[in-house]
Structure 1
Amino acid sequence: MKISFLCILIAAIQPFLWAGAAKFGGQRSGTRYDNRAPRDTLAHLSGWPQRANWAQQNSFEAFPIFAAAVLMAYAAGVPAALIDFWAVCFIVARFAYFACYVANLATLRSLVWFAGVIACVRLMCAAI
């Protein structure tokens, strides 16, 4: 069970990692980060730093569903090994999602995004 809880922590941290990549990448490509207007700075990125920012936004959106799915499964008494399996699948899918987003592999990105959704649905169905 500790693995799935660790996965919740990793999923909670991912958006901040992706934001850091976007900010760092923007500075390397000539967009100076302005902490007084961070959203405006991130909105004016282009190329892979912009896609890293979009991945950050999507990671914030995906987190509550994943955390709820893990906690639902835990509360329902689903076997820990099954929860851990799907939680790890979700995390692997989210790292692949980021890599595909930054690499501009749109179709593959959509497929790994869907794999993450499937992991959440499997956890929720196991809880039911």
Structure 2
Amino acid sequence: MNTLHFVRFTVAYWCLLAAALLPYVCAGIAKSGLLGKPRNQGGYDNDHPRQWMARQTDWRARANAAQANSFEGLPFFMAAVIIAHQLGAAQTLLDILAFLYVLTRVLYITMYVGGLSSARSAAWAVGMLLNLVILFIGYH
């Protein structure tokens, strides 16, 4: 009898998935409330999405900027988690740090959309520090 074996995801691996989805959450925030509204009334323009986004201001523009930054930060986080796993980092510590990174990114996005620039920059710095710690926790 064949049995299916499923890969067991660690909390850190689930955090990779969560971090990978955050840019799309930002895009949804930027477009929220406008998807069904006619274009001539300011609704989302799916024929010209980049031009439409370029015309947005305030929290919608900041949500789009948070999306771009979330994509920019994603490769470093993914690499750090994978390298930490490969180096045999203590799993519980790695899981906690990865969770804290995702939590920090959620706070970053919230602060970005809310226009809290100093707090946003602090959250970004904490996220960068967490990435560096994750990268090196498996080093022996």
Fold agreement, TM-score > 0.5: yes
Aligned-pair CA distance for 1:127 = 3.1
2:30 matched to 1:19? no
What is residue 37 of structure 1 aligned with on the other side?
48
Structure 1 counterpart of 2:47, which letter?
R
Deviation, 1:41, is 1.1
Alignment deviations for residues 37-82 of structure 1 (CA, whole Å, 9 cap, x no partner): 1111111110111100100010000111100000000000001111
Scaled by the length of structure 2, the TM-score of the pair is 0.85
Aligned: 1:112 with 2:112? no
Overall identity of the aligned pairs, in %: 35
AA aligned opposite 1:109:
R
Distance between the aligned counterparts of 2:70 and 2:42, measured in 1?
A: 23
**Aligned residue in 2 for 1:76:** 87
Runs of at least 4 residues off by over 2 Å: 25-28
Q: CA deviation at 1:25?
A: 5.3
Q: Secondary structure at the match of 2:100?
A: helix
Could you list the per-position Cα deviations for residues 95-121 of structure 1 after superposition, in whole angstroms to 9, with x for gaps in the alignment?
Answer: 000110011010000000111101100
Q: Could you say which structure has the larger radius of gyration?
A: 2
Q: Do residues 127 (structure 1) and 138 (structure 2) align?
A: yes
Q: TM-score, normalised on structure 1?
A: 0.93
Gaps of 5+ in 2: 1-8
Alpha-carbon separation, structure 2, partners of 1:51 and 1:74: 34
C-alpha RMSD of matched pairs (Å): 1.6
Match for residue 94 of structure 1 among 105, 116, 119 = 105
Q: Residue 2 of structure 1: which of 10, 34, 41 is its match?
A: 10
